[in-house]
Amino acid sequence: MNEIIKAINKPNLYFIYRNKILFFVLTCTFLQAFTIQAQNQNVWGKPYIGNDVNLLYYPDQNANYFRYAWENKPGLHIIVKGKMPEARYFSFNIYDDYHKSSIKALSDVQILPDEADPSTYTIHITQNSSMESKRNTIIVPDSVRLLSLFLRYYLARIDPFANVPLPTIQMVVNGVNIATAASIPMPSMSTADIANLRNLVAAQPKFLTNAEKKKLASNKYTVSEKEPLISKLLTMPIFRHFSNPDTISAYNFMSDGNYPNKDNHYIVMPVLQQKKSVLLVRFKAPSHGLKLGDNTSDVRYYSLSQGNEYTNTSLTMHDEQLKISADGFVYVLVAPESEELKSTAANLGINFMPWLYQDRLVLILRHMLPSKNFKSSTAEVPVFQRAKPSKGQEAELTIGDFALKGKFIKTKEWKAVKNLDQLRF
279 & 217 share domain: no
368 & 407 share domain: yes
pLDDT of residue 5 exceeding 90: no
399 & 344 share domain: yes
Q: Where in the sequence is the domain holding 202, given as residue range(s)?
A: 191-238
- Single-letter amino acid, residue 364: I
Assign residue 333 the CATH number of its domain.
Answer: 2.60.120
Has residue 252 been placed in a domain?
yes
Please identify, among 135, 152, 178, the residue that sits at the C-terminal boundary of a domain: 178
Looking at residue 256, its pLDDT comes to: 67
Has residue 20 been placed in a domain?
yes
Looking at residue 190, its pLDDT comes to: 65
111 & 172 share domain: yes
Using an 8 Å Cβ cutoff, are 55 and 311 in contact?
no
Has residue 244 been placed in a domain?
yes
Point out the least confidently predicted range of 194-203, 289-298, 405-414: 194-203
Please identify, among 238, 253, 276, the residue that sits at the C-terminal boundary of a domain: 238
Instruction: Report pLDDT digits (tens) over 30-46.
Output: 344 334 434 445 799 99
Assign residue 61 the CATH number of its domain.
Answer: 2.60.120.1600
**For residue 283, what are the contacts with CB-CB under 8 A and spacing of at least 6?**
304, 329, 330, 365, 401, 402, 403, 404, 405
Once rounded to an integer, what is the mean pLDDT over residues 383-395?
A: 95
Looking at residue 57, its pLDDT comes to: 87
123 & 200 share domain: no
Point out the least confidently predicted range of 17-26, 59-68, 147-156, 272-281: 17-26
Has residue 186 been placed in a domain?
no
Looking at residue 234, its pLDDT comes to: 80
The mean pLDDT of the chain is 88
Once rounded to an integer, what is the mean pLDDT over residues 380-397?
A: 96
Looking at residue 197, its pLDDT comes to: 73
150 & 41 share domain: yes
Once rounded to an integer, what is the mean pLDDT over residues 414-421?
A: 90
C-alpha to C-alpha distances, 398 to 248, 251, 328, nearest whole angstrom: 15, 10, 19
Our CA dihedral for 40, 42, 43, 46, rounded to 10 degrees, sits at 150
Give the residue with greater pLDDT, 232 vs 248: 248
150 & 225 share domain: no
Name 303's bridge partners: 318, 366
Count how many domains the chain has: 3
Best-predicted range by mean pLDDT (87-91, 209-213, 310-314) = 87-91
pLDDT of residue 329 exceeding 70: yes
Looking at residue 189, its pLDDT comes to: 67
pLDDT of residue 121 exceeding 70: yes
24 & 162 share domain: yes
Instruction: Report pLDDT digits (tens) over 302-327.
Output: 999 999 999 999 999 999 999 999 99
Has residue 102 been placed in a domain?
yes
361 & 319 share domain: yes
Please identify, among 238, 256, 274, the residue that sits at the C-terminal boundary of a domain: 238
166 & 152 share domain: yes
**pTM, 2 dp:** 0.85
Has residue 4 been placed in a domain?
no
Question: Considering the chain, what percentage of its residues have pLDDT values greater than 70?
Answer: 89
Has residue 51 been placed in a domain?
yes
Best-predicted range by mean pLDDT (171-175, 184-188, 230-234) = 171-175
Under the banding of pLDDT at 50, 70 and 90, the label for residue 24 is: very low
Once rounded to an integer, what is the mean pLDDT over residues 244-259?
A: 89
Once rounded to an integer, what is the mean pLDDT over residues 336-365?
A: 95
214 & 307 share domain: no
Looking at residue 94, its pLDDT comes to: 97
pLDDT of residue 141 exceeding 70: yes
- Closest to 216 measured CA to CA, from 235, 188, 197, 239: 197
C-alpha to C-alpha distances, 49 to 8, 40, 53, 103, nearest whole angstrom: 23, 20, 9, 23
59 & 195 share domain: no
Looking at residue 132, its pLDDT comes to: 85
Has residue 351 been placed in a domain?
yes
Looking at residue 317, its pLDDT comes to: 98
